[in-house]
Amino acid sequence: MTNSKPWRPQAALVLAAGLGTRMRHLSNTLPKPLVPLNGVPLIDRVLDRIAQAGIPRAVVNVHFMADLLETHLAARMRPAIVISDERGQLLETGGAVMKAWPHLKSGPFLIHNSDSVWIEGVGANLDRLTQAWNPAVMDTLMLLAPTAHSIGYEGDGDFDMDGDGRLARRKPGHQSPFVFAGVSIAHPKLFADAPTGAFSLNPLWNRAIEAQRLYGVRMDGTWMHVGTPEAVAEAERRLTREEAHAP
């Protein structure tokens, strides 16, 4: 008899250590992950989705106002929470992975920004991401949002995607149809020969692009870039409208 249970990462790294400087007055007394969106802290929206996707453990890195964040997370039951303490040094995205490595390295894992939120379309986007994961050809698989239809995003996009899902960086001076939605699956081999200390994931992604092993999945729904107080307010208005029309 075959096991028909779908594959899921056994761990997620939730990036929650940022300073939230663009949030201004909203992050004067709270770390950005605790800023509420229609009454629900951003990080709880993320962790609820992780739990619903069947991922049992979330490693959360902390730095700015770390005590407040740890106290809040202690009340959660699902997923199981592990704290990765970056109080001594903010390690950026790549360094955060290496700091949390003992809790992640056993297999491919999810990396999820603590402020990445969206309104689902048809089905769950984390399910869409995990179902598309193929370690035979991928080092990283990103969740991508259409640039033109995202809330609170005003940039030129991040990636172009070919018919097989392989990604290329936006060319300077051009616009790309997709923006990185802050969620990806990473294979441990992406981090072979990774530097120590603070570093960004971007050089590792560039290396995966060169090897044609960086892929993307277009999300179904509406991504909300909540980087500023104005974007939070816009996202709350959109969520309120969606909830009012929900069956």
- Please check whether residue 32 lies inside any domain of the structure: yes
- Please check whether residue 7 lies inside any domain of the structure: no
Interior angle at CA 213, CA 208 and CA 215, nearest 5: 105
Is the separation of the CB atoms in 123 and 131 below 8 Å?
no
Q: Which domain holds residue 119?
A: 12-244
- Please check whether residue 146 lies inside any domain of the structure: yes
Per-residue pLDDT of 117-167, as tens digits, reads: 999 999 999 999 999 999 999 999 999 999 988 988 888 999 999 999 999
- Please check whether residue 212 lies inside any domain of the structure: yes
Residue 49: pLDDT above 90? yes
d(CA 141, CA 204): 13
Residue 245: pLDDT above 80? no
Residue 1 is predicted with a pLDDT of 46
Residue 225: pLDDT above 70? yes
Number of structural domains, the chain? 1
Is pLDDT larger for residue 5 or for residue 175?
Answer: 175
- Please check whether residue 4 lies inside any domain of the structure: no
Per-residue pLDDT of 176-193, as tens digits, reads: 999 999 999 999 999 999
In the chain, what is the straight-line distance between the N-terminal and C-terminal CA atoms, in Å?
Answer: 39
Helices (H) then strands (E): counts for the chain: 6, 13
Distance between alpha carbon 37 and the CA centroid of its chain, in Å? 17
Residue 4 is predicted with a pLDDT of 67
Residue 26: pLDDT above 70? no
pLDDT average, residue stretch 82-92: 96
Amino acid of residue 57: R
DSSP assignment of 84-123, as one string? EE-SS---HHHHHHHHTGGGTTTS-EEEEETTEEEEE-SS
Residue 48: pLDDT above 90? yes
Q: Which residues pair with 113 in a beta bridge?
A: 15
- Please check whether residue 196 lies inside any domain of the structure: yes
In the chain, the percentage of residues whose pLDDT exceeds 70 is: 94
Helix (H) or strand (E) holding 233: helix 229-244
Residue 247 is predicted with a pLDDT of 59
- Please check whether residue 6 lies inside any domain of the structure: no
- Please check whether residue 182 lies inside any domain of the structure: yes
Residue 106: pLDDT above 90? no
CATH of the domain at 42: 3.90.550.10
